[in-house]
Chain A
Amino acid sequence: MAPAMAPAVLLRAAVCVTGRFPALAGVDLEVDAGETVVLEGPNGAGKTTLLRLCAGLLPLSGGEAVVLGCDLAGGDRSGLRRRVGMLGHHANLYDDLTVAENVRFALRAAGRPAADADEAMTRLELVGRLRRTAVGRLSAGQRRRVALAVVVARRPELWLLDEPHAGLDRGGRALLGAAVTEAAAAGATVVLASHEPEESLPLADRVVTLAGGRVTGVRAASGPEAVARGGAHVA
């Protein structure tokens, strides 16, 4: 049942040392293209580090890691970063610019047409006066939505979401779920770290448990939604 394509994310005994601390102490993980995987685990397990490693932001200290065909042990990770959309803890937005300006800038930086910005903002219900508001004046949850709009607009091959539900109200969570489902249907690979299983499990094909910097369990996300989505892989 495994597709002939190479997996989107392939980690073998990956070790990642941040500062003097081995945040990832030997991770084995394989995510097929088009799959949606949820990472769960206690605080300090290394979920954020794993996501940042896959985004090409952190160097690999040991083991093997290949993301979207790019070997992370090699020097050049900038090519990978353009194909990845990351929603981290920090929104990476410019407080003095409006929502629309931020999204348009991010799109033009990524080499995408600025027209996509409007569509993405509408999908996340960032309309009307909200678009002309400076990001610095928004609430944290609204800023998250803007950051998500940036990811949606860029249409990356790999989505890396770090606790995306945190800070979002119910409406925001619904929008997030819709965006993720749409992206997965379009073939994007999604890796989501979450502390909220009720929100994230319905979106996932598989659930990976992380603890102490290593993968301690892998299981299929149960439920009719997982089966109903075409091409679901059962581990």
Chain B
Amino acid sequence: MSIAPPPPPWSGRRRRTVDVIGAAAVLGVAVTVWLGLWVTPPDQHLHDEVRLVYVHPPIAWVALYLAFGLAALSSVLWLWPRTRSGAWDRLAVASMEVGTVFTALTLVTGSIWGRATWGVWWAWDARLTSTALLLVLQLGYLAVRRVPADHEARARRSAVVALVAAVDVPIVHFSVDWWTTLHQGGTITNPNLSPTIHGAMAWTLLLGFVAFTLLFVWLLLVRYRVVVLAEWREDTELALALHERWAEGAPRAEPVAVPREGTVPAPPAGVGATESVGPAARG
């Protein structure tokens, strides 16, 4: 009995769309970098160090609000019974993984900026510290994801971790903020040294935000596709395992299996083949 697996999902036109977005994102980032490094003028006070403003705030925005916020939101939507759907779990893990990379980048660019402006690679100010803690929280999420378990258990556990992390981040932010600002004595290096932004600088900054957002969206879609493919492969393996299991038992009349959410294919012997097992799986 041969089973023809269905074609992998997300091929063809969807894939091309993702590629177009990717090209646009890379182009946007390249243009931003070019503009930032060469075209825009240096700031009066901060001189050349200001150029990081085109890169660091956009990355930070993507990491903290866009990626993490999206991951937390989809986790909550998964946990809520009424809106539960496998798509939310996939979105959460894709968003959180890509977000972790962006968080790390935020720390790196922030550290470089700190080195350039204050002369130190690291300072215990509110922003950097909160971001560092966020990175650890995200690494915890990824660690929970790696634990082998069936889909639902793993989705449940990671959704809870994301939710707890989301609740914790504002608390961390407030506590660290008070920690640094209420501390008397010792200068507080304030990363809020906002350079005056005008003209070409403003446009470049805007482009930076758009470009990095696009970059995140592209990476998110790519990662999402990987998750979809991994689950598709698991479903196919499950279909094979089911057929082997049926072969274990003594032959009898085939039962009618009603698949739920497309996870379980119908048994053979001509009873309504579903999408997971191709039409060749008869008899």
Contacts and interface: CB of A to CB of B under 8 A. Distances in A.
Contact of B258 (A18, A19, A62): A62
A61 interface: yes
Interface stretch (B55-63, B198-206, B208-216, B249-257): B249-257
Nearest to A22: B242
B99 interface: no
Given A20-B234, A20-B238, A63 B245 contact: no
Interface in B206-251: 234, 237-238, 241-242, 245-250
Contacts of A21: 241
Given A21-B241, A25-B245, A61-B260, A211 B250 contact: yes
Interface residues of A, number: 28
B253 to A, nearest CB: 9
A20 B255 contact: no
A17 B238 contact: yes
Contacts of B250: 211, 216-217
A195 to B, nearest CB: 18
B255 A213 contact: no
A224 interface: no
A73 interface: yes
B264 A17 contact: yes
Interface residues of B, number: 27
A75 interface: yes
Nearest to B271: A13
A64 B258 CA distance: 8
A59 B242 CA distance: 17
Given A61-B263, A212-B245, A22 B238 contact: yes
Chain B contact residues: helix, strand, loop or mixed: loop
A214 B252 CA distance: 10
B267 interface: yes
Nearest to A18: B150
A26 interface: yes
B264 A15 contact: yes
A63 B257 CA distance: 6
Contacts of A73: 260
A125 interface: no
B150 A19 contact: yes
A20 B264 contact: no
Interface string B102-136: 00000000000000000000000000000000000
A28 interface: yes
B245 A22 contact: yes
Contact of A214 (B237, B255, B260): B255
Contacts of A214: 246, 249, 252, 255
Interface in A187-232: 211-214, 216-217
A63 B149 contact: no
Contacts of A217: 250
Interface string A1-27: 000000000001101011111100111
Contacts of A18: 150
A15 B81 contact: no
A65 B241 CA distance: 22
A74 to B, nearest CB: 10
Given A61-B260, A62-B257, A212 B248 contact: yes
Nearest 8 A-B pairs (CB), nearest first? A212-B248, A212-B249, A62-B264, A211-B249, A26-B255, A13-B255, A25-B245, A216-B250
23 contacts: A12-B256, A13-B255, A13-B258, A15-B242, A15-B264, A17-B263, A20-B238, A20-B241, A22-B238, A25-B249, A28-B255, A45-B249, A62-B259, A62-B260, A62-B263, A62-B264, A63-B257, A63-B258, A64-B258, A211-B250, A212-B248, A212-B249, A214-B252
Interface of B: 81, 148-150, 152, 234, 237-238, 241-242, 245-250, 252, 254-260, 263-264, 267
